[in-house]
Structure 1
Amino acid sequence: MTTEVVVMNRAGVALAADSAVTVDMGQSSKVRDSALKVFMLSKYRPVGVMVYNNASLLGVPLETAIKLFRKELGRTGHANLENYGDALVDFLENHRRLFPEVAQDRYFVAALEVEYERIADLVEKALASGVYGSGGEEEQETAAETANRVVEERLAFWEGLDDADYYKVDAGDIVGRNSGVVHGVIDRMFLGWTGLSDEARRHLYKIAENLVGKDYFPPDVFTGLVIAGFGEDEHYPVVQHLQVGGMYGNRLKVRPQTLHEVSDAVPSEVLSFAYRDMVDGFLDGISPAVFEHLGDVAAFIREMPVRALDGVAGIAPEAKEKAAEIILQESSRKAAEFARNVLRGARARRGQIDQAVEMLSLKELAQVASTLVGLSSFEHQMSLDREMVGGPVDVAVVSKGDGFIWIDRKHYFPKELNNHFFENYFDGVAEGDEDVVREEEEEETSDGE
């Protein structure tokens, strides 16, 4: 888990991310605070990118892929910020050395195993909640029926999802090409499930097709990309949010999210990604957990007086019914008023913060972004659960005139011992650009960027 924050106004955009990363190690996992999540997307253009959730694509670190893209991009600029995201997607889709078909098929099988494990867990929970005898043929048949039912229900879930129309692939062809592997995974994952019907096996195969073709990204698998900065024709910052759910048939499964743009109508904005509860709670003045129960509280306000009236003895039924109607009208009005006031208060608080952000300098944008990430880190530090947000906070600011500037950046090597890195950083720059390079080298504070 991670927390990433974007704070922007007409002057520029600040990016901030923590350093926590969860490393799965078979039956256990460790949380480390050394992950790099903020990167320059171009050495020469005012564009940055943040990565959250899964930091690799088909086993390739996104850090590596982003830096290869940056090298290929060179000095090329794009009219709009959104074009940089499109160019990155095109680069990833067409880089066969990084993502050969064998790697794509391997990713598909791994994602399928995760889904089948989820189904197996659902079956185990269903069996655990049932009442069974001490053993025997009758119990085995009941367990088999339960397993078949759970598989059927899981297929119904997948069939109810929208198609992933944002990328064109033939799911049947991709799964058909790996049909032997799919059936092998089914045999291995559901070995010992005596009584698993042929229909259930067909359902499991159909789920494999839906995994490719439906608009669903398993929460622990997808990669989030937050691209922020300026296109050549843009004077105010723009943020593009993409979610990547793997690659199938040489096509990247990319779900486009809302494009956020600073304008005269929207002069500032604060955005949070990945773990958002603490940041959203601060911005709205109310915890998201409370928001989730707002409807329950409103229902309590509406219904409780009537329930209390039912418990009052000595009132004639007709009189009680008439009184209940009057009370329900008033309590319903109060419940609706309560919900409106809570929502109005949240909107007012966020509006005040947006107004304050509108007036911030570039330095202050960075401070706000860093502080909001720090709040999430502090919340996890004070929790009894494992700290999923933490470590040093990397902060960068992107402006139209100055480009990508590091404010805070963790280093994995000492600068004074690696002069060769900085001397070679701008290798390949066209002759005559030495002054530009010198200025950029003076601003460059990254250890590996």
Structure 2
Amino acid sequence: MFKDNESIERRFNITAEIVIMNKQGIALAADSAITSGRDDIKKVYNTANKLFSLTEDQAVGVMVYGSASFMEIPWEVIIKCYREYLGTRTFSTLPQYMEHFLEFLRNDDRCNNPEMEEVSIYNTFYEILIQIVRKVEDDINESEEEATDNTVAKWMDKYIDEDIEEFQQKDEILLELNYDDFKEKYRPIIEEIEEDLISFSLTELLKEKLIKLAYEAARTNSFSTGSSGLVFAGFGDKDLFPHLLNYRLEGFILGQLKFTKEIEKQISYTNQQKDGTAAIVPFAQREMIDSFMGGMEPNMQDAIFNIIQKVLTEYPTQIQKHVEDISLSENHVTSLEKLGKDVYQTIKEAVWEYQQDYYINPLLGIVRSLPKEDLADMAETLINLTSFKRRVSRATESVGLPVDVAFITKGDGFVWRKRKNFVNHELNARL
């Protein structure tokens, strides 16, 4: 029914990065690991550059994570080309720098290349279709009857309809795309993915639905693992305190750049204002940093809450099973289920408040008063901690040393504290 498929071969900054801010400035740290290959065969190199100064004149730093390239161009190349485009211009605020960078991506023919747009569609649609294939394979394995092309097609049709409906219900439409233009340009690449994954012949109706599915995914707030995270941090000319922006970028589709803003934080005058006077913001692989901040490993916390939810959900059934001479009416069961949901929500809120009161807020209280040297050391240490956890676990060592560390202040601009360098200055005096 389906072909043995191999994962897409890519180069990923499957990484750990962090930004720590207070009124004095911003510490940025990033590891050096880059993962190349497929899910089944991976090679990790600890040579990647993920942290950059925007230019020598601006107090702005840039970090990238996720895919190591954008439209098949390495991010390091793009950022260094942008420096020429920016020149000596400065802007009043950090968002103006970000918008100017996006303008560069849109206007530069090397980045906005129509011939490379298929990459965005391939990344997004391949992942969606392979998830559908895996669901149908589960149905085949669980079915007591022999699966035929017709039954498999029905299962596929059901999952395709569900996904289309899910995308159509999303509130945020990022791109206004013409369906006929989308279909005409990207049908060949969609059919190529179908042929890579599916061995039986699809009906024309199913093929049309798959194009519709790719279209809905392309225009909504849905990003593939082949997308990239982009972090701008620093000061505009009129910014008194540090500012952080985090965007997700997929690529160009029918000439439109698909992106969305994920995080924005700016240090405030007082701790009572929106983002307060200190912030710790991790990116990509953040479980160890979240553990340090919140007092509990996130996966363990999720597992505990899932157990609690399961126990409370099954509580009415267990009462009837284990308590003699009791028969709950439908209204009783409904009331107990509602009670279980209320108790579960109360537990979650109580744990969250405890973490805020005894872990996160006290930690941010310390960060508010840390001098810039200690902020930089803290950022480096948290990345080292993540790297160490990866090294002693069975997971791929996708966070690797050395750690690049920089600090940005209003007066001194972007300053490297630690930086790997492949250049031997004794052999390259001109550098």
TM-score, structure 2 as length reference: 0.84
Cα deviation for residue 304 of structure 1 reads 6.4
- 1:247: how far off? 1.0
Between stretches 329-338 and 17-26, larger displacement belongs to 329-338
- Matched residue, 1:188: 195
The reply to whether residue 153 of structure 1 matches residue 162 of structure 2 is yes
2:60 aligned partner: 47
| In structure 2, C-alpha distance between the alignment counterparts of 1:140 and 1:103, rounded to whole Å | 35
Structure 2 letter corresponding to 1:189: D
1:263 paired residue among 243, 263, 268: 268
Amino acid at match of 1:147: M
Q: Tell me if the contact between 1:171 and 1:210 (Cα under 8 Å) persists in the aligned partners.
A: no
Matched, 1:232 2:245: no
Aligned equivalents of 1:329 and 1:160: distance in 2?
A: 27
CA distance change for structure 1 residues 301 and 414 in 2, over 3 Å: closer, same or farther? Answer: same
Deviations 1:111-146 (A, max 9, x none): 43443334333333332332234xxxx834323333
* Larger mean Cα displacement after TM superposition, 46-55 or 168-177: 168-177
The verdict on how the C-alpha distance between 1:232 and 1:333 changes in structure 2, with shifts beyond 3 A counting, is: closer
1:57 matched residue in structure 2? 70
Whole-Å separation in 1 of the counterparts to 2:23 and 2:412: 14
Q: Which runs of 5+ in 1 are unaligned?
A: 319-323, 422-449
2:376 paired with 1:369:
no
Q: Aligned residue for 1:435?
A: none
- CA drift of 1:335 comes to 6.6
Q: Residues 168 and 362 from structure 1, CA distance in 2 versus in 1: closer, same or farther, beyond 3 angstroms? A: farther
- Looking at structure 2, the residues matched to 91 and 329 of structure 1 have their Cα atoms a distance apart, in angstroms, of 53
Say which SS state the counterpart of residue 208 (structure 2) adopts. helix
Query: Percent identity, aligned pairs only?
Result: 27
Post-superposition CA distance 1:264-301 (Å, at most 9, x none): 23111100111111111110112212332336426747
Indicate the residue corresponding to 2:7 in structure 1.
Answer: none
Aligned 8 A contact 2:408 2:414 in 1 = yes
Matched AA of 1:213: R
Distance 1:110 1:300, change over 3 A: closer
Query: Could you say which residue in structure 1 is the equivalent of 2:182?
Result: 174
Query: Aligned to 1:417, what secondary structure does the other structure show?
Result: coil
The match for 1:142 among 151, 157, 169 is 151
Superposition pairs for residues 84-103 of structure 1, below 5 Å?
84-103=97-116
The TM-score with structure 1 as length reference comes to: 0.81
**Equivalent position of 1:415 in the other structure:** 425
What does residue 398 of structure 1 align with?
408
1:369 is paired with a residue whose SS is helix
CA shift, 1:245, in A, is 1.2
Letter in 2 for 1:124: E
The answer to whether residue 288 in structure 2 is matched with residue 275 in structure 1 is: no
The aligned amino acid for 2:294 is D
1:67 aligned partner: 80
Q: Which residue of 2 aligns with 1:383?
A: 393
Code of the residue aligned with 1:86 in structure 2: it is E
What is the alpha-carbon distance in structure 1 between the residues aligned to residue 57 and residue 74 of structure 2? 23
Do the aligned partners of residues 182 and 351 (structure 1) sit closer, same or farther apart at CA in structure 2, a change above 3 Å counting? same
Between 56-65 and 379-388, the greater mean CA deviation after superposition? 379-388
Indicate the residue corresponding to 1:439 in structure 2: none
- Opposite residue 247 of structure 1, the aligned amino acid is F
Specify whether residues 172 and 419 from structure 1 end up closer, same or farther in structure 2 by C-alpha distance, changes over 3 A only: farther
Q: Read off the aligned partner of 2:356 and give its amino acid letter.
A: R
Deviation by residue 1:207-256 (Cα, 9 ceiling, x = unmatched): 121232111001x1110011000000001000001000111133211101
Equivalent residue, structure 2, for 1:441:
none
Q: Summarize deviations over 1:81-107 as a string: whole Å, max 9, x none.
A: 111111111001111034321122454
In structure 1, the residue matched to 2:228 is 223
1:337-396 alpha-carbon deviations (Å, 9 max, x no partner): 654442222101100010100001111110111111111111111212222222211111
- Equivalences, count: 408
Measured in 1, the distance between the counterparts of 2:157 and 2:342 equals 48
Q: Point out the more displaced range, 208-217 or 118-127.
A: 118-127
User: Within 2, Cα distance between the matches of 1:127 and 1:407?
Assistant: 56
How has the CA–CA distance of structure 1 residues 329 and 98 changed in structure 2, closer, same or farther, with 3 Å as cutoff? closer
Matched, 1:297 2:304: no
Matched, 1:119 2:127: no
Between stretches 263-272 and 23-32, larger displacement belongs to 23-32
> Aligned residue for 1:211?
217
The answer on whether the counterparts of 2:125 and 2:190 sit within 8 Å (CA) in structure 1 is no
C-alpha contact (below 8 Å) 1:24/1:30 kept by paired residues: yes
Contact 2:160 2:213 in 1 (8 A): no
Distance 1:306 1:151 in 2: 34
- Structure-2 separation of matches of 1:76 and 1:228: 17
Q: Where do 5+ consecutive residues of structure 2 fail to align?
A: 1-13, 328-332
With 355-364 and 105-114 compared, the bigger mean Cα shift is at: 105-114
